[in-house]
Amino acid sequence: MTDTADIRFLLTIQRSGSLVATGRTLGVSPSAVSQRLQQLEKKLGTRLIDRTARKLHFTEEGALLCQRGADLIEQFDALFDELHTRRGGLVGALRINGPLGFGRRYLAPVVADFQRDHPDVDISLTLSDQPLTETADRFDVVVHIGELRASNLIGHAIAPNARFLCASPALVRRFGMPEAPQDLAHLPCIVLHENREDASLWHFSKGRTSTSVRVASKLGCNDGDVIRRWALEGRGIVLRSEWDVADDIRKGTLVRLLPSWKVPDANVVALTRNRAGLPRRTREFMQYVQSRFRPHPPWRE
């Protein structure tokens, strides 16, 4: 007879996608993962996963065990959550994913403080330059900034976040202040590669007028902190989130350009797989995050 540890082990393989990635997640070698999988298959008397050099393919029995097992694990965890809640605390695991820069500056402190207040909750925070491209079922909460394309995930508002066009005072002195979005096509710009967006096509609006500009970029990066530093060094114009450059604009180390033209906002949202039926630890974490960014987010203090 299998137990919850075996089911959790199999679900970890499914989420990770390979024995090597499973080993990294569990902190063991791939050979140890393979050996444990063989023992589980021997115990059940059936093959669960067909292994090839490049990928894993779950057999019909393995897929069934994952599907039914995930439901059982959720019920099992909910039962113990309820028992623990009756004693006044939260318990269980919480897997969170978020963007690199925002995650380092704003999300990581919130996660650490929440875990300090709820010591029986085990939290794993993963930061990525493309959080939405990760496998959704690997995480309980995904923090996202910007437009949310069609998705089966449920969005929860966290904080407002505008985007600003800005450059260093030195670059403005060298090239002059642009008067219209079209001027950007002839100025050095720096682009951010994230969320598989068309990074060099920038959109602007003023009243009922909308326009888009294809900027010429000799510098680009997938890390927002890098392009912000390049902007501070006078290497080009950047289009960055308010949370990242508000302090620089206040200090005068970056100058906001074309302030009468608006670019699309990039509000901060938290995404979950369901709106109802979330574990209490997930619901309370969401409320905790929202409380830390209300009534005003720290970049608007």
Tell me which of 222, 237, 256 is where a domain ends.
256
16 and 61 share one domain: yes
129 and 190 share one domain: no
Predicted pLDDT at 202: 95
3-state helix, strand, coil in the chain (%, to 5): 45, 25, 30
Per-residue pLDDT tens over the stretch 70-127: 888 777 777 766 666 655 578 888 999 999 899 999 999 999 999 999 998 999 999 8
Predicted pLDDT at 131: 63
Q: Examine residue 30 and state whether it is found in any structural domain, yes or no.
A: yes
Query: In this structure, what CATH number is given to the domain that contains residue 110?
Result: 3.40.190.10
Burial of 251 (0-12, 13-18, 19+ CB in 10 A): exposed
Q: Which residue has the higher pLDDT, 173 or 194?
A: 173
179 and 293 share one domain: no
Confidence band for 286, pLDDT divided at 50, 70 and 90: very high
Per-residue pLDDT at 245 exceeds 50: yes
Predicted pLDDT at 75: 77
Q: Examine residue 261 and state whether it is found in any structural domain, yes or no.
A: no
179 and 248 share one domain: yes
Q: What percent of the chain is predicted at pLDDT more than 70?
A: 89
285 and 208 share one domain: no
- Residue 281: its H or E element: helix 280-292
d(C-alpha 101, C-alpha 222), whole Å: 10
Averaged over 160-189, what is the pLDDT? 96
Q: Examine residue 184 and state whether it is found in any structural domain, yes or no.
A: yes
Report the mean per-residue pLDDT for the chain: 87
181 and 155 share one domain: no
Helices and strands: H and E segment counts in the chain: 10, 14
Paired with 166 in beta bridges are 238, 256
Q: Examine residue 262 and state whether it is found in any structural domain, yes or no.
A: no
Q: Of the ranges 229-233, 249-253, 273-277, which one carries the lowest mean pLDDT score?
A: 273-277
154 and 276 share one domain: yes
DSSP codes joined into one string, 60-127: HHHHHHHHHHHHHHHHHHHHHHHHHHHTT---EEEEEEEEHHHIIIIIHHHHHHHHHH-TTEEEEEEE
Half-sphere exposure of 12 (CA within 13 A, CB side): 22
Q: Examine residue 41 and state whether it is found in any structural domain, yes or no.
A: yes
d(C-alpha 190, C-alpha 301), whole Å: 28
Averaged over 243-264, what is the pLDDT? 96
Query: In this structure, what CATH number is given to the domain that contains residue 78?
Result: 1.10.10.10
Q: Which residues contact 28 (CB under 8 A, 6 or more apart)?
A: none
33 and 105 share one domain: no
179 and 240 share one domain: yes
Joined together, the tokens standing for residue 192 give 């951010």
Q: Examine residue 230 and state whether it is found in any structural domain, yes or no.
A: yes
Per-residue pLDDT tens over the stretch 52-79: 656 788 899 888 888 888 888 777 777 7
186 and 68 share one domain: no
Domain membership of residue 42 as a residue range: 4-82
Tell me which of 36, 52, 82 is where a domain ends.
82
Tell me which of 30, 56, 82 is where a domain ends.
82
Per-residue pLDDT tens over the stretch 140-157: 899 999 887 756 788 899
272 and 215 share one domain: no
Confidence band for 1, pLDDT divided at 50, 70 and 90: very low
Joined together, the tokens standing for residue 8 give 């959790």
Averaged over 225-241, what is the pLDDT? 96
3-state secondary structure (DSSP) of residue 159 = strand
Q: Number of folded domains in the chain?
A: 3
Token pair 């996963």 is found at 49
Q: Is the dihedral of CA 242, 263, 134, 292 positive or negative?
A: positive
Q: Examine residue 142 and state whether it is found in any structural domain, yes or no.
A: yes
Q: What percent of the chain is predicted at pLDDT more than 90?
A: 50
62 and 195 share one domain: no
